[in-house]
Structure 1
Amino acid sequence: MAEKTEWDSSIAFIFAMIGAAVGLGNIWRFSYVLYSNGGGSFFIPYFTAIAIMGVPFLILEYGVGFSFKDSFSNILKKIKPQFEYIAWALVLFVFIVTIYYMVILSWDLVYLLSSFTFSWGTDAALYFTKTVGGSSNLSNASFLLLPTTICVLLLWVVLWFISHKNVDEGIGKVSKILIPALFVIMGIIVIYALTLPGAGIGIDTLLTPNWGMLLDVNIWLAAFAQIIFSLSMGQAIALTYASYLPENSKLIDNVLIVVASNSLFEIFTAFGVFSILGYMSATAGTPMVQLITEGTGLIFIVFPMIFNIMGPIGRILAPLLFLAILFAGITSALGFFEPMLSSTTVKLGWSRKKTATVLSVIGCGFSLILTTGISSYLVGIIDSFVNEFGILLLIGIQCIIFAWFYGVEHFLPALNEHSTFKVGKTWSFVIRYLLPIVLIVMWIIGIITLFSTAKRFEIIIDVIIIVGVMISAFALTKIRPAGE
């Protein structure tokens, strides 16, 4: 029988949850989403989404995990045996997130090492294409990007080393170190960025409200999507971590601490990002609109260009930024890895160390496939499909299962017993009716967008993923549990 796991305190849990929530999306996605969806006016749908989706769903996940104190697959199996298949499908999708997330982290590690000598040179875009992330030219799939390949191997060893230990010794201890360090590093970067000439131009560009955009449904959908991905909602991470909580935990208080920390971090970071873009605009005379981009383009192309013209301070800020991304990424990767690790350990009756080792070898093998000359193209395809199709659909299904098949009222005693803040009928209404509707609408719109723009190669990858998940989920469901 697999050993019982438990956090030694709520503090370890809170840091682990903040670590799972605060990730790459907070650093490079939020500022772009805020800017491109109405600037300052976006805060209205953003905080609305937190209030009616982020907080209520995390409360549900904490309540489920804490009440059952079991793996995600076992919890759904207890509610109804047929639901175990759904559980495995979700944890497999989240495991796929871990696989490509480690590749993105490896790009960052390459840049962290490069930041000491600025070996990306004067053409940052060429460096990313040739050395780190590759391109969408399919003929480049025949060779590996060696720096990325080596960094993937190193990072999987790190992930295994932390994950194979008891949660408190591994994830708990690492989160207690990395999360405060991350907040300090980002604090230094942002505070300095605010003093740069041109910082005001960037912040004005970021925050100038476009009130008319509030009438566009897509802005509201963008806010809900940001909250889902920013808080890692419905991915069995919060549920799994909460299942390790000791008795007498203040569940709702913990939710509010995690959500507030996550939001403050991404808003604070957005000010820093746009201050630095404003500096580039003022110094190099480049219009802001040419500098603003999302995700990897911002961090791995635009920012190295900015560090190049910063002089000596750029030599300090560059390693700090890439180190902050590494810390945020590692704690998030641990969160993505945990649901599969927990469910497999319980199902097969293996030790945590054995399961972590087997899954790390499998995960690393797939990550290595994504380090070819089309690395960034593959990661982009998989990221869009897994999130827009798989995870979003399964979050909606979870809502329906916990609210309708099990009964959301069963979680109220555990949630309210020790918490300073209480939930009741309003929260139950949101979980039962509001969230499933919002999630299903988002899923339908996402799927239409995804497949209406997909190329043939992208659809082939999507089909491989869905077939792989379906077969693997079926196999894991059919395996007889340990002890039976």
Structure 2
Amino acid sequence: MSAETQAAPREQFTGQVGFILSAIGSAVGLGNIWRFPGVAYENGGGAFMVPYLVALLTAGIPILFLDYALGHRFRGGAPQAFRRVKGWLESLGWFQVMICILIAVYYAAVIAWAGSFFVYSFGEQWGDDAASFFVGDHLQLADVGGADPWFTFDFVAAVLIPLALVWVAVTVVLAAGVVKGVQRANVIFIPLLIVAFGILVIRSLFLEGAIDGLNVLFTPDWGALGDPDVWIAAYGQIFFSLSVAFGIMITYASYRRRRSNMTGPGLVVAFSNSGFELFAGLGVFSALGFLAAQEGVTVADLDFQGVMLAFVTFPTIVSQMPAGAFFGALFFGSLVMAGFTSLVSILQVVSAALQEKFALSRRAATLGMGTVLGVVSVVGFGTTTGLILLDTVDAFVNNIGIVASAIFMCVFVVWVYRRGPELRYHLNAVSTAQIGRWWYACVGLVVPVMLVVMLVQYVIQRIDEPYGEYDETYLLYAGWGSVLLLFVGAIVFTLPRWRGPDAFTAWPDYPPTQDAAVMKEATR
């Protein structure tokens, strides 16, 4: 038993089911429902499934295994795990924590909107013009770039109150602990999410025009397979939807018992996430086909990307459906559950890092984190300019911050410090599904190459074409400033002395001190 274990027994999931449901709860989020259908449609329809599957097998699952191996072997959240790989790499862990902080403060706002629309659904309060209701009545969106400044302190009660409630709820769940809080929330919400969204999808499949919507989504454009941008889009979708490379899966894996199967559950999580995305695509495009038929337009004429799909297009669909109020409540209730379980996982990364570095109790770390980030979230996204700030920070943090994090992780862990064989040995020693040498090629070559291409392409695009046609000065502060904040925060959190328990012995031994035959079998 390691000195670390003797000093402070680590919290643990009660078993494999609790861990799997928690990991699925993290992976399945808002993006699965509104991002995948649009990306698939724009990149070859049915043909997109080919690069999507290739990306899942060569990038999604390998990086998920890398996260699992780091967290499970080095028994810590992102900063502690990377610190145990090499001392100064603690900063990479804090870089991932900073990503989680920035995502959490705006992600909570979207959950709050969904919660409000869940209530609105019962009376279909958005009326005949869902777009005007969302940006006008609900968000009271300022005329940014026009008569109003880019940022205001004009708070919107319809956003501020539910947003504060989201932060209270997530803080309570995290303060309860890994088993009584995180695991219990996922064990309750994930089955409910599947049932609620399943009812919605089944109903959507039988709507008038549903088949037209499905034809739009799944009619293959095989010529798209020759377009490099389609392959980049597939890798991007897999990468963003699995919650990898920003500390979540590292942290969750660290709460598993030392003798725990890791690769088998990893496959379950990866394919469950992709299965839910496909399932969501069926429901979304069936509903879009119905709306197009009702309005006498084509599906291509509708807006089915991102926030507008959820808070404008779907309310419009609900208003024209039989028993629309019921299905509206199912849809927005599903968004709340999917978003909440993901938010719990995001903030668990922050809480775990603070506990381990500063020797804080779970309650102290959680309450401090919840209070500070809750205030930042309310001030930034509970105002009339919250939507614009959210859109900007989300684009830059996801497309630059997370991608850069994954590149750094692959380069330093696999190439510079050559921990690949040790991590593969660890996974094979504790798991039933063995991974071969192909894993090195994926995490050491395929993933970093694809992500470098994605990162360079996105940076060039943002330089040549300002994001969202927003003011360049605003993007400098809100967009590029967010990226800079990731690096500054990583340095600031790394500088203080490590106060938590530091003694540690990795298990199983590597290289093995005995039973070479077992090692050979585990690494062949």
Q: Which sits farther off after the overlay, 363-372 or 320-329? A: 363-372
Aligned residue in 1 for 2:82 = 76
Partners of 1:176 and 1:52 in 2: CA distance:
30
Counterpart contact for 1:2–1:349, Cα < 8 Å: no
Within 5 Å, give how 1:424-443 maps onto structure 2.
424-443=436-455
Within 5 Å, give how 1:45-64 maps onto structure 2.
45-64=51-70
Correspondence 1:461 to 2:478: yes
Correspondence 1:472 to 2:489: yes
Aligned residue in 2 for 1:180 = 191
Aligned residue in 2 for 1:321 = 331
Counterpart residue type for residue 13 of structure 1: F
Stretches of structure 1 that go unaligned for 5 or more consecutive residues are: none
Q: Which sits farther off after the overlay, 134-143 or 147-156? A: 134-143
1:85-111 deviation digits (Å, cap 9, x = unpaired): 222122111211111100111111111
Counterpart contact for 2:396–2:483, Cα < 8 Å: no
Aligned residue in 2 for 1:345 = 355
Within 5 Å, give how 1:25-104 maps onto structure 2.
25-104=31-110
Counterpart residue type for residue 22 of structure 1: V
The 3-state SS of whatever aligns with 1:95 is helix
Correspondence 1:21 to 2:31: no
1:327-380 deviation digits (Å, cap 9, x = unpaired): 000000111111111111100000011101111111111111212112211101
Counterpart contact for 1:26–1:230, Cα < 8 Å: yes
Deviation of the 1:400 alpha carbon: 1.4
1:9-30 deviation digits (Å, cap 9, x = unpaired): 1111100000000000111111
Aligned residue in 2 for 1:247 = 258
Q: Which sits farther off after the overlay, 459-468 or 270-279? A: 459-468
| Pairing partner for 1:237 from 236, 248, 263 | 248
Aligned residue in 2 for 1:191 = 202
Partners of 2:8 and 2:160 in 1: CA distance:
33
Aligned residue in 2 for 1:275 = 286
1:184-230 deviation digits (Å, cap 9, x = unpaired): 11111111111111111110111111111111111111101101111
Counterpart contact for 2:34–2:304, Cα < 8 Å: no
Partners of 1:41 and 1:72 in 2: CA distance:
37
The 3-state SS of whatever aligns with 1:241 is helix
Partners of 1:467 and 1:63 in 2: CA distance:
29
Aligned residue in 2 for 1:372 = 383
Counterpart contact for 1:131–1:145, Cα < 8 Å: no
Aligned residue in 2 for 1:447 = 459
1:134-187 deviation digits (Å, cap 9, x = unpaired): 546221643222111111100000110101122111110110010011001111
Partners of 1:417 and 1:134 in 2: CA distance:
56
The 3-state SS of whatever aligns with 1:13 is helix
Aligned residue in 2 for 1:144 = 155
1:418-446 deviation digits (Å, cap 9, x = unpaired): 43321121111221222111111111111
1:433-460 deviation digits (Å, cap 9, x = unpaired): 2211111111111111223222321122
Q: Which sits farther off after the overlay, 450-459 or 344-353? A: 450-459
Counterpart residue type for residue 443 of structure 2: I
Partners of 2:488 and 2:451 in 1: CA distance:
25
Deviation of the 1:461 alpha carbon: 1.1
Counterpart contact for 1:253–1:421, Cα < 8 Å: yes
Counterpart contact for 1:94–1:336, Cα < 8 Å: yes
Deviation of the 1:81 alpha carbon: 2.1
Correspondence 1:309 to 2:320: yes
Partners of 1:137 and 1:2 in 2: CA distance:
53
Counterpart contact for 1:190–1:272, Cα < 8 Å: yes
Q: Which sits farther off after the overlay, 439-448 or 217-226? A: 439-448
| Pairing partner for 1:167 from 173, 178, 200 | 178
| Pairing partner for 1:9 from 7, 10, 15 | 15
Counterpart residue type for residue 237 of structure 2: Q
Aligned residue in 2 for 1:157 = 168
| Pairing partner for 1:264 from 275, 278, 284 | 275
Partners of 1:104 and 1:440 in 2: CA distance:
30
Partners of 1:323 and 1:69 in 2: CA distance:
35
Structure with greater helix percent: 1
Q: Which sits farther off after the overlay, 98-107 or 428-437? A: 428-437
Partners of 1:237 and 1:468 in 2: CA distance:
20
Partners of 2:140 and 2:398 in 1: CA distance:
22
Counterpart residue type for residue 261 of structure 1: S
Partners of 2:215 and 2:407 in 1: CA distance:
37
Q: Which sits farther off after the overlay, 52-61 or 404-413? A: 404-413
Partners of 1:203 and 1:268 in 2: CA distance:
12
Q: What is the identity percentage for the equivalent residue pairs of Structure 1 and Structure 2? A: 31
Counterpart contact for 2:77–2:247, Cα < 8 Å: no
Counterpart contact for 1:134–1:376, Cα < 8 Å: no
Q: Which sits farther off after the overlay, 273-282 or 314-323? A: 273-282
Deviation of the 1:462 alpha carbon: 2.5
The 3-state SS of whatever aligns with 2:419 is helix
Q: Which sits farther off after the overlay, 22-31 or 371-380? A: 371-380
Partners of 2:228 and 2:249 in 1: CA distance:
29
Partners of 1:128 and 1:2 in 2: CA distance:
49
Aligned residue in 2 for 1:225 = 236
Q: CA RMSD in A?
A: 1.6
Correspondence 1:363 to 2:373: yes
Aligned residue in 1 for 2:511 = none
Aligned residue in 1 for 2:214 = 203
Counterpart residue type for residue 435 of structure 2: V
Q: Which sits farther off after the overlay, 11-20 or 404-413? A: 404-413
Deviation of the 1:481 alpha carbon: 1.8
| Pairing partner for 2:111 from 80, 105, 108 | 105
Partners of 1:211 and 1:144 in 2: CA distance:
49
Deviation of the 1:282 alpha carbon: 1.6
Counterpart contact for 2:70–2:250, Cα < 8 Å: yes
Structure of higher CA gyration radius? 2
